[in-house]
Amino acid sequence: MDVREANIEDWDKLNAFYSRVYRPNHPLLNKEFWLWQYGNKKYGRAFIYLNSKNEIAGHVGANFGGEVAWIINVYLDKDSRGKGVLRELYNLARNYYPLAATAANKAGLGLYRNMRWYRYFDLVRYVKINPAIHNPDFNSVCKKVDVSIANLINKDTHYFQQPFLKGLTLNDGSKAISQEEVGGIRVVDVCQLEQLEKQAWDLGYLWMDYITSWNDLKTKELEKNSWVIDSESIVPWRLNPLEKDYFCDITFLSEKPLNNEFIVHRSFSDHGRIGSI
């Protein structure tokens, strides 16, 4: 069975495969993005299965974070199923770290249930709208804003080096992603919450969000400061393109039990990938 790690020399085959299985404009169709996601063994790898025609017919990606291999971008052609291909691809990822995933669809959940993985509480997303906005609605909140952030741009971590992502470090040390084209700032790390909020509103953002695992005690502070679960807000999870009334529905799973202090960071897996959200 021809399974192995992919490298940039496989780009033509990879591009043909991604073009078949993903929507137009998917981030993996961009070579620069692929290099960011899978080009450095410290941060992630892609594992591929080649059929008798030497074409890619199966793919498993792994994003490395928190000493875990987060399984992403899993796809196997129908005529290659039932042959143990996925098992071999997962074995390649397992050589790096224990396996985990954040899955948002029925197919993914069914796969991991059949593999007898552990399912934890779903990830939670909190949202806060600028309190200066009276009677906010979707159109008044999810719209382009002009913000002056050139002095806040940050590319000091691999996550913030993601192509097309505009990472910020705010005055209190909090880190975030600017998505001013839809009015908001997506918080990655919270330091001093009240200072973070004040600067975000002073800059002109209309909303903020923060996604984490259910056991993150930082959420207690958010709740005290009037952040709400996203289903109680008007700011959708999917912003590219904007999908009104689409809220976070992301399940967290792992192959082996994880310490109950383990918190899922925004940079883990692909739920923080700017091409998706």
- Tens digit of pLDDT for each residue in 57-80? 999 999 999 999 999 999 999 999
Label residue 275 by pLDDT band (50, 70, 90).
low
Q: Is the peptide bond before 241 cis (omega within 30 degrees of 0)?
A: yes
pLDDT at residue number 274? 66
Please give the class, per CATH, of domain 3-119: alpha beta
- Are the CB atoms for 214 and 124 separated by under 8 Å? yes
Q: pTM of the predicted model, to two decimals?
A: 0.94
- Are the CB atoms for 176 and 185 separated by under 8 Å? yes
Over residues 125-151, the mean pLDDT reads: 97
Domain boundaries, the chain: 3-119, 124-247
What percentage of residues in the chain have a pLDDT greater than 90? 90
276 has a pLDDT exceeding 90:
no
For residues 244 and 1, give the distance between their C-alpha atoms in angstroms, rounded to a whole number: 44
3-state helix, strand and coil shares in percent for the chain, rounded to the nearest 5: 30, 25, 45
245 has a pLDDT exceeding 90:
yes
Take residue 120 and report the two structure tokens written for it. Answer: 């934890």
